[in-house]
Amino acid sequence: MDTDCIISIASSEHFTQADSICRQMAQSALSRRTGIAGRTAESIRQKMEEGKAIIATLPSGQWIGFTYLDVWEEGKFVSQSGLIVDPAFRQHGVASQLKHALFNLSRRLFPEAKIFSITTNQAVMGLNTQLGFRPVAFSELPQETRFWNQCATCQNCDILARTGGKYCLCTGMLFDPAYPTAIPLAEAYACVH
């Protein structure tokens, strides 16, 4: 299968894709029987408008992958969330391209921020590890109520609630630019259209 896709920073020109992206996120969570925080098409459009999302499209304009970032504790932390690839285009490197582009965008916009991801997906954990993320306890992640409230729509939220926010099925992973093995900022930049 040809996966000649265009990786770019999402913008208002991609607004029409938001409903489809949102539906695919929900379907993916159901089919994999994993927890995922619910997202609305409006929240996806907002990330596009803010220039805080990466989208993979075919030359025809059809989306085949998407991910976005969010900012926490006044820029101290940046989360990488919502990584989704259309099932027809999985296993072709699209997720890796999206993850790397979002990492580079995060580093460029917030060079001093700690970047984190919370996931149950083994492939995402592998991509995070390649980028210099390390597994951490939830106590090393933002403590903003607004962040943790997003977990309320996940099917595994009861685990997080029962453990007082200390544990869940998700693994927290953190990239700290001050950590000795962190990728230097100059090496983190990549060409994103």
In a domain, 193, yes or no: no
Domain span at residue 113? Answer: 6-188
Q: What's the confidence (pLDDT) of residue 166?
A: 62
In a domain, 62, yes or no: yes
Q: How many domains does the chain have?
A: 1
Alpha helices of 51-180 — where are they, by DSSP H?
94-109, 122-130, 145-149, 157-162
What pTM, to 2 d.p., does this model score?
0.82
Q: What is the DSSP string of 17-54?
A: GHHHHHHHHHHHHHHHT-------HHHHHHHHHHT-EE
Q: What's the confidence (pLDDT) of residue 60?
A: 92
Backbone angles phi, psi at 192, to 5 degrees: -120, 125
CA distance 177 to 111: 8
pLDDT tens per residue across span 83-111: 999 999 999 999 999 999 999 999 999 99
Q: What's the confidence (pLDDT) of residue 4?
A: 83
3-state secondary structure at position 131: coil
Distances in Å between the Cα of 89 and the Cα atoms of 103, 146, 191, 193 are 21, 33, 22, 20
Q: What's the confidence (pLDDT) of residue 32?
A: 62
In a domain, 1, yes or no: no
In a domain, 177, yes or no: yes
Q: What's the confidence (pLDDT) of residue 191?
A: 43
Q: What's the confidence (pLDDT) of residue 186?
A: 47
Q: For the chain, which residues score pLDDT lower than 50?
A: 1-2, 186, 188-193
CATH assignment of the domain containing 168: 3.40.630.30
Q: Which DSSP helix (H) or strand (E) runs through 70?
A: strand 63-72
106 in Cβ contact with 69 (< 8 Å): yes
Q: For residue 125, which of 154, 149, 147, 96 has the smallest C-alpha distance?
A: 96
Q: What's the confidence (pLDDT) of residue 190?
A: 45
